[in-house]
Amino acid sequence: MSGVSTHIKGIIFALGAFVIWGLVPLYWHLLTGISSFELLFHRVFWLIVSMVVYLLFTQRIAEFIKHLKVKENIKVLILTAAFIGFNWVVFIWGVSNGHVKEVSLGYFMNPLLNVVLGAVILREKLRPLVWGCVGLALAAVIYLIYMEQIVPWVSLGLALTFGFYGLLKKQLNVPPMIGLSAEALFIFMIMAIWVLISKDYQNYTLHHRQWPWMIYMSLSGILTLVPLLLFNLSARIIPLSTLGFIQYLAPSLQFSMAVFVLKEQMTINYFVTFAIIWLALIIFTIDGFRVRFKSAPVS
């Protein structure tokens, strides 16, 4: 019975993480009119504040310092910081400029892109049906580019940066929260140097805007940290296949917001593209469950 309740708790944690990630575009949409660079600056600053509180509360400061003393960790963390920093910029810019549908498309594409990266870079063997799912997703993107005569660079940028970020994190022997703390610190250091060199620091100081805006922007750190904590808690409890299926909740919510709340322009070609990718993801997920069920030991 305790195992069942623990499993349910894991699902609740996962749902909480992906619901927050799915609804967070509404938060960034409220800050429309503020530059993406300034929003990123505040997101990273308040994330660092949140992470310091977390590390102090969990008594992990010594662990954080220990991992940063390893040169190999520093090299990889600088790369992951670059990828996640660019991902955040594209995400914030996309939401602030009416491209939430492309944001959601990027996160729909991400699981299948992870499969490709695993096959090409990590030499993981893929089943023919999985390659078929990847082909469907690629066909959907090509269809959108051809029919709309645009390149969905927001979608591609988010999928690629988060894909390579995940690939590097997979090979990094650093706990997720410790790694995120280091990444936030590196990003903030680079941005702070840039602001000082450009002599534009007046635009990014904490007293630059009126207090209601400062309260709104200070929430960005919590909105970054909380879903990640929930995700990590759930990943320890429930199977990855279950977690992967729940993952599609976030881009589904983002797509629904783009259509019904933010009233973004949506042509039939976008609906066709999303339908094809959804089909690929459903086949991919069912196949994963099938293989997992067949390989499970019979008691």
Tell me the average pLDDT across 32-37.
80
Amino acid at 49: V
pLDDT given at position 200: 63
pLDDT given at position 59: 92
pLDDT tens, residue by residue, 51-95: 999 999 999 999 999 999 999 999 999 999 999 999 999 999 999
Kindly tell me the sign of the dihedral angle through the C-alpha atoms of 165, 7, 297, 289: negative
DSSP state, residue 202: G
Confidence label for 39 from pLDDT (cuts 50, 70 and 90)? confident
* Tokens encoding 92: 């914030």
Asked whether the beta carbons of 105 and 151 are under 8 A apart, the reply is no
pLDDT given at position 287: 82
- Over 70: is that where the pLDDT of 265 sits? yes
Chain CA centroid to CA 67, Å: 23
Average pLDDT in the chain: 86
Asked whether the beta carbons of 225 and 181 are under 8 A apart, the reply is no
- Over 60: is that where the pLDDT of 14 sits? yes
The verdict on pTM exceeding 0.85 is yes
* Tokens encoding 241: 């296949």
- Over 90: is that where the pLDDT of 139 sits? yes
pLDDT given at position 73: 92
Domain ranges, ordered by start, for the chain: 2-295
pLDDT given at position 299: 47
- The pLDDT > 90 percentage for the chain reads 48
pLDDT given at position 40: 87
* Tokens encoding 200: 């534009």
- Over 50: is that where the pLDDT of 118 sits? yes
CA distance 296 to 89: 42
Which of 53-67, 125-139, 144-158 has the weakest average pLDDT?
A: 125-139
* Tokens encoding 124: 């993981």
Tell me the average pLDDT across 158-185.
90
- Over 60: is that where the pLDDT of 24 sits? yes
- In this predicted model, which residue has the larger pLDDT, 77 or 32? 77
CA distance 145 to 142: 5
pLDDT given at position 295: 63
Confidence label for 1 from pLDDT (cuts 50, 70 and 90)? very low
- Half-sphere CA count of 81, side-chain side, radius 13 A: 21
- Over 60: is that where the pLDDT of 232 sits? yes
Q: Which of 157-161, 195-199, 207-211 has the highest mean pLDDT?
A: 157-161
- Over 80: is that where the pLDDT of 23 sits? yes
Q: Tokens 């940028």 correspond to what residue?
A: 157
- Over 70: is that where the pLDDT of 141 sits? yes
